[in-house]
């Protein structure tokens, strides 16, 4: 199975998946990293793991649709079976989602449907939530909305600082995301409507 990761920033989730592939925990080919920012640190991580990275500049395209068509063209050329969003800060068009129906996953640093969108950890912390966590879900054409594959909560205690909470969330992300990719590769994830079964 061929994997692709789409990222915009640091690429720590990309690195956790690349390391799992390298160790043989995920038995698949990590074909390519696509980024929408030329100076995304994720590109340096890709070079470290020997993964091809491609920068596609949104400024070169007149619309979201034409940009997504360019992304899809590359992914199809690479014969990608699973698209993994890892801090990719663009909303995918229905065209992209349809092109890889049930083959796009995303990770979100909250217990969806709570705290959709950006700055989810900070918003949960400031709201006074007793729990936050990590959600990995299939992508549909709404933001942070697709069927949930896996969730795990983190308790927010009064002793925790925002920085400590962020570190806990990221650590959990780096544990869960490779696991979900592994389960997908092994065809152990079954989706029926909004219900997702593992095993």
Catalytic annotation present for 170: no
Q: Which residues contact 73 (CB under 8 A, 6 or more apart)?
A: none
Angstrom distance (rounded) from CA 174 to CA 101 = 25
Q: What angle do CA 20, 80, 17 make, to 5 degrees?
A: 15
Q: What are 197's strand-pairing partners?
A: 190
Q: Supply 181's token pair.
A: 């990719």
Nearest-angstrom CA–CA distance, 91 and 144:
10
| Active-site choice (108, 137, 145, 170) | 108
Active-site residue list: 108
């Amino acid at each position: 199975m061929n994997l692709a990761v789409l990222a915009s920033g640091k690429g720590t989730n990309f690195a956790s998946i690349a390391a799992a592939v390298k160790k043989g925990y995920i038995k698949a080919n990590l074909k390519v990293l696509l980024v929408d920012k030329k100076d995304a640190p994720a590109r340096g991580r890709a070079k470290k793991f020997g993964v091809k990275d491609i920068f596609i500049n949104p400024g070169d395209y007149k619309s979201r649709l034409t940009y997504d068509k360019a992304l899809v063209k590359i992914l199809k050329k690479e014969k990608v079976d699973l698209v993994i969003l890892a801090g990719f800060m663009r909303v995918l068009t229905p065209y992209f989602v349809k092109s890889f129906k049930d083959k796009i996953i995303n990770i979100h640093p909250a217990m969806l449907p709570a705290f959709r969108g950006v700055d989810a950890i900070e918003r949960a912390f400031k709201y006074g939530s007793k729990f936050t966590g990590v959600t990995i879900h299939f992508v549909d054409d709404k933001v942070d909305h697709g069927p949930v594959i896996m969730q795990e909560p983190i308790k927010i205690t009064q002793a925790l600082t925002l920085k400590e909470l962020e570190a806990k969330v990221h650590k959990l992300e780096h544990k869960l995301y490779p696991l979900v990719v592994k389960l997908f590769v092994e065809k152990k994830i079954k989706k029926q409507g909004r219900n997702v079964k593992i095993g």
